[in-house]
């Protein structure tokens, strides 16, 4: 793999993507149910991240697995992508169509970021009622900074190092009490955006946001969401990853 060692400077911009998260219907409930069946089928490959909340990941999130070692992230991604591929194949045509429309990118230029994880899943499946609500914290999505060599690998064909950033969440299964996203709007305050099964939420990731921890997750509840990010290059290519 050609990985460039020279330091590079990105200037993330957010021209095309709304500061405000948007919720857009993507797939129907039957497709979500089929995807959930495939997730359960692959549950031996879920990675337990927090036993208290029954929090698993399926896939290789860069914000967790690339923190200490990019090599580890690349290795894990290669392993787990094999299992994610059948699930992602169900989603891919609709996702590509939507990203093409929303981001102004020709469908043929929407591609997986080489050596990275496909978008993967957050799964909350507590086996007992947690004695306190999950506490999430406001953040900006900065995981692209953890995989700069992979991004530089595709930018070496570009005239510019500028990129635009995109984050997305697609709820596949939700607890009875619901789930959602909180995000801040300067001088207005915090907004709450409720999730709906099959409706994708797109945002630039650069406004302060967090999992809405105002919903209680009880024993037997399941909250499964597809999570992904993408960069758009100046020449109009979009590379997705997790």
| 233 C-beta neighbours (distance < 10 Å), count | 21
Q: Which is nearer to Fe ion, 141 or 164 (CB)?
A: 141
Question: How near is the Cβ of 41 to Fe ion at its closest, in Å?
Answer: 27
Query: How far apart are the C-alpha atoms of 60 and 122, rounded to whole Å?
Result: 10
Question: How near is the Cβ of 181 to Fe ion at its closest, in Å?
Answer: 9
Angle at the Cα of 164 from the Cα atoms of 163 and 166, rounded to 5 degrees: 135
91 membership: H or E segment, kind and range: helix 70-103
Give residue 164's Cα distance to chain centre. 15
Q: Which is nearer to Fe ion, 41 or 145 (CB)?
A: 145
Residue 141 binds to Fe ion (criterion: CB under 5 A)? yes
Range in contact with Fe ion (rule: CB under 5 A) among 87-95, 120-128, 135-143, 232-240: 135-143
Residue 65 binds to Fe ion (criterion: CB under 5 A)? no
Residue nearest to Fe ion as judged by C-beta position: 141
Burial 182-218 (b: 16+ CB within 10 A, else e): bbeeeeeeebebebbbbbbbbbbbbbebebbeebebe
The footprint of Fe ion on this chain (CB under 5 A) covers a number of residues equal to: 1
H helix runs in 104-220, sequence order: 148-155
String marking each residue 82-121 x if it binds Fe ion according to CB under 5 A: ----------------------------------------
Range in contact with Fe ion (rule: CB under 5 A) among 53-61, 136-144, 145-153, 172-180: 136-144
Question: Which parts of 219-238 interact with Fe ion (CB under 5 A)?
Answer: none
Query: How far apart are the C-alpha atoms of 229 and 240, rounded to whole Å?
Result: 6
Range in contact with Fe ion (rule: CB under 5 A) among 37-45, 59-67, 71-79, 134-142: 134-142
Query: How far apart are the C-alpha atoms of 224 and 57, rounded to whole Å?
Result: 9
Question: How near is the Cβ of 209 to Fe ion at its closest, in Å?
Answer: 6
Range in contact with Fe ion (rule: CB under 5 A) among 93-101, 130-138, 140-148, 228-236: 140-148
Q: Are 227 and 119 in contact (CB under 8 A)?
A: yes
- Give the Å distances, CA to CA, from 60 to 45, 52, 54, 113: 11, 21, 17, 13
Query: How far apart are the C-alpha atoms of 163 and 232, rounded to whole Å?
Result: 5
Residue 212 binds to Fe ion (criterion: CB under 5 A)? no
Q: Which is nearer to Fe ion, 141 or 221 (CB)?
A: 141
Closest CA to 113 of 73, 86, 142: 73
Q: Which is nearer to Fe ion, 32 or 165 (CB)?
A: 165
Q: Which is nearer to Fe ion, 152 or 209 (CB)?
A: 209
Question: How near is the Cβ of 67 to Fe ion at its closest, in Å?
Answer: 15
Chain residues binding Fe ion by CB under 5 A are: 141
């Amino acid at each position: 793999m050609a990985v460039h060692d020279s330091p590079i400077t990105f200037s993330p911009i957010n021209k095309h993507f709304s500061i405000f998260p948007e919720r857009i219907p993507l797939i129907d409930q039957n497709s979500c149910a089929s995807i959930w069946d495939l997730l359960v089928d692959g549950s031996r490959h879920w990675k337990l991240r927090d036993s208290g909340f029954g929090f698993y990941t399926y896939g290789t999130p860069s914000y967790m697995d690339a923190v200490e070692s990019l090599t580890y992230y690349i290795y894990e991604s290669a392993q787990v992508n094999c299992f994610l591929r059948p699930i992602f194949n169900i989603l891919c045509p609709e996702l590509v169509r939507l990203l093409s429309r929303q981001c102004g990118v020709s469908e043929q230029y929407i591609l997986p970021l080489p050596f990275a994880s496909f978008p993967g899943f957050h799964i909350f499946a507590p086996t007992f009622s947690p004695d306190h609500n999950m506490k999430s914290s406001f953040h900006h999505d900065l995981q692209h900074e953890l995989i700069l060599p992979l991004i530089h690998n595709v930018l070496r064909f570009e005239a510019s190092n500028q990129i635009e950033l995109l984050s997305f969440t697609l709820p596949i299964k939700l607890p009875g009490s619901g789930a959602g996203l909180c995000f801040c709007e300067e001088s207005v305050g915090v907004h709450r955006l409720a999730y709906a099964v099959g409706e994708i939420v797109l945002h630039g990731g650069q406004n302060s946001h967090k999992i809405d921890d105002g919903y209680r997750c009880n024993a037997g509840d399941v909250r499964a969401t597809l999570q992904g990010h993408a960069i758009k290059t100046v020449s109009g290519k979009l590379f997705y990853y997790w």
